[in-house]
Structure 1
Amino acid sequence: MSYYGNFYYKTPTVGELQAKARKSIERARKKGVIYDPIVVPGTGSQRKLCTNWWGKAWCANMEQYSDYANRLPRGQRYCRNGMVIDLQIEKGVVHAKVQGSDRTPYDITITIKPLSQKAKKAIQERCEFGISSLETLVAGEFPKELQDLFTAKEGLFPSPSEIKFHCDCPDGAYLCKHVAAVMYGIGIRLDQKPLLLFELRGLDPKSLVEKAIANKLESMLKNVDRPSGRILDAQVNTNELFGL
């Protein structure tokens, strides 16, 4: 039981919130709207939100911002227990719905400032000459050798000054528990679909891959007439070479 102003408010249980969430999803479905909820596999409060290093890195990066600290634990519980019933990542913006105590879920919008042209160019160049890394990206994973693209200044992970939040709940806090839940939800979604991080920051992953392949082919064509150091000289005695 919590006290707000001149009245007491009964805090709903996790089970009650989950029941409301299921009803909200079903009501939307009947209207032809299909939500894409955040689901944390497993059971229990200790189950991991993210399993891949890039998803964990997103959450760790967010948690280091001291301004967010007091709301993050409640947001994490909301996310872990299935209250983020819809989350859509687009270029520069995340739209989400989080089930709270009301019948209607809250609408959350998180806007992320676009990367500067200088930062975009640096990231593109960093990716273009790492064809093996991009093959890993195409397979749906972030290679460790590109880890510096995340936490570097003007990297793929946004800083607090680059993020704006909006939630239509009555909580006056800039970062309410519903927004915090969505921030964790983004980490989980990126953990599953890492290329969405490029899209979120305004970069086209398909274009990065195509440029990397083009650079690789160009490099190969430049060296096509150069003799390989692995070709045996005609004068080499193969019997002596192999000790025969």
Structure 2
Amino acid sequence: MITARDDRRRTFDALPAGAQAATWWGKAWVAALEALSRDQGRLARGRSYAEEGRVEAVTVTPGRLVAYVRGSRSRPYRTEIALDVFAAEDWEVFLERTAADPGYLAALLEGEVPQGLAEALLPGPGELHPRCSCPDPGRPPCKHAAALCHRVAHLLDADPFVLLLLRGRGERELTEELTRRNAAHAAREQTAGAPGLPGVPARTAVAPRSLPPLPPPLPDPPGPGHPPSYPDGPGAPDPLALDQLATDAAARAYAILATGRDPMAGLTLWQDAVRLAAAHPTQGLTGAARALYRDLARAAGRPVHDLARAATAWRHGGLAGLEVLEEPWDPPAGPFDRARPALLAAGEGQFRPERNTLTLGGRQLRLGRDGLWYPYTGTPGASPGPDWWPAGPSAPDPVAALHRP
């Protein structure tokens, strides 16, 4: 447990090289010390010392900063900066002002110095008193004190309670006191406004009651929306990529709304690439869409030709259509065996069976695991064999599948 006495003494390890103030209050702290000197060369040298990491651990106590700073000699110099602490009446004004405004306390706890408190907290002219054990005969601050000032400014960036400790009080005692006073302010405001506040008796509020039914949900939209056009400017993201991302997100959201299922759930990288490509027909592709096919095929590690065929299968049958294209299987006897006589009776010819396919010349039917027939076309006599492509949507009847548009 940290006591009040311990809370008023904090030690911070040395920072790595390059640390500088970033906040406006950290820079205001540096400016207050630099206002004591017109020797810009000495001040610049001190800033360099801080950036080079020459300031060792810093100890902060009420009204005083102490650190050793390594200069040109082997033995570091003991450097101090003193700051006037608040008197009791100053603390009373500060505490009441801070507690009365919840935003002030919230800003301090978030590591910021509120603008409304800056004038009271930050050092004014003549409030900083640097001292150093170095032999510099010039008027303070020396370069070692300037280096310590820059180091402390970085501490203030991250923790404004360092500044409050320099003014005389530690973080824990301050937060406890401010929390107590803030609660008292809130209680007084609540009491003052109580007669005009609406309310109900507690027994009424917790009594069982039935709530009215929820309103019916809004009807589903007719389809996914279309994204706006995106500018193609220097340094802007690729408009085609943005359009593709927005269009796919809208289609996915619409599918989830309409069916309760995510169309991307469980898809492999290749299946998702096929799904994205299927949104762009292969005929009449623009240059940008051809680039999309190329990029998708490269990402999936497959040729563009394979992607175009798979996208056609997806457009005709979705994931089931892609599986029919890529996954031959051995169907059980039944519908498959009855298909050949049905085709022969319809005058379609004698189809040759092989696994889940029926083939005659440049025509082919594939039976999917979903029990549907998928039509394919190919070039007879091609080497090393017909290049089979999906020819249309599926149908439960093999004869009808051959003649689907």
Q: Same fold judged by TM-score > 0.5? A: yes
The DSSP-based 3-state class of the residue aligned with 1:56 is helix
Question: 1:149-191 CA distances to partner (integer Å, 9 max, x unpaired)?
Answer: 22x3xx2122342222221111122211000111111111111
In the alignment, which residue of structure 1 is the partner of 2:75?
104
CA 1:219/1:77 → structure 2, altered by over 3 Å: closer, same or farther?
same
Match of 2:47 among 48, 52, 76: 76
Counting matched residue pairs gives 183
Question: 1:114-141 CA distances to partner (integer Å, 9 max, x unpaired)?
Answer: 2244433332232121112212212322
> For 1:99 and 1:35, how far apart are their aligned partners in 2?
16
Matches within 5 A, 1:137-152: 137-142=108-113, 146-150=114-118, 152=119
In the alignment, which residue of structure 1 is the partner of 2:146?
180
Q: Is the 8 A contact 1:59 1:187 kept in 2?
A: yes
Per-residue deviation at 1:221? 3.4
Q: Is the 8 A contact 1:107 1:167 kept in 2?
A: yes
Structure 2: runs of 5 or more not aligned: 1-10, 200-405
CA 1:216/1:91 → structure 2, altered by over 3 Å: closer, same or farther?
same
Question: Given the alignment of the two structures, is residue 195 of structure 1 paired with residue 165 of structure 2, yes or no?
Answer: no
The DSSP-based 3-state class of the residue aligned with 2:56 is strand
> For 2:38 and 2:59, how far apart are their aligned partners in 1?
22
Match of 1:157 among 122, 131, 141: 122
Q: Is the 8 A contact 2:54 2:69 kept in 1?
A: yes
CA 1:68/1:89 → structure 2, altered by over 3 Å: closer, same or farther?
farther
CA 1:68/1:113 → structure 2, altered by over 3 Å: closer, same or farther?
farther
TM-score (norm 1): 0.66
CA 1:68/1:197 → structure 2, altered by over 3 Å: closer, same or farther?
farther
CA 1:106/1:57 → structure 2, altered by over 3 Å: closer, same or farther?
same
In the alignment, which residue of structure 2 is the partner of 1:25?
none
Q: Is the 8 A contact 2:29 2:123 kept in 1?
A: no
Question: 1:66-121 CA distances to partner (integer Å, 9 max, x unpaired)?
Answer: 53553321111111111111112221110111111222211112121222444333
CA 1:133/1:226 → structure 2, altered by over 3 Å: closer, same or farther?
same
**Structure having greater relative contact order (Cα 8 Å, sep ≥ 6):** 1
> For 1:162 and 1:227, how far apart are their aligned partners in 2?
49
In the alignment, which residue of structure 1 is the partner of 2:217?
none
Question: Given the alignment of the two structures, is residue 214 of structure 1 paired with residue 180 of structure 2, yes or no?
Answer: no
In the alignment, which residue of structure 1 is the partner of 2:392?
none
> For 2:36 and 2:75, how far apart are their aligned partners in 1?
31
Q: Is the 8 A contact 2:65 2:81 kept in 1?
A: yes
TM-score (norm 2): 0.41
The DSSP-based 3-state class of the residue aligned with 2:197 is coil
> For 1:67 and 1:210, how far apart are their aligned partners in 2?
42
In the alignment, which residue of structure 2 is the partner of 1:167?
132
Q: Is the 8 A contact 1:96 1:182 kept in 2?
A: yes
Q: Is the 8 A contact 2:130 2:145 kept in 1?
A: yes
Q: Is the 8 A contact 1:86 1:98 kept in 2?
A: no
C-alpha root-mean-square deviation of aligned residues, in Å?
Answer: 2.5
Per-residue deviation at 1:203? 3.8
Q: Is the 8 A contact 1:79 1:182 kept in 2?
A: yes
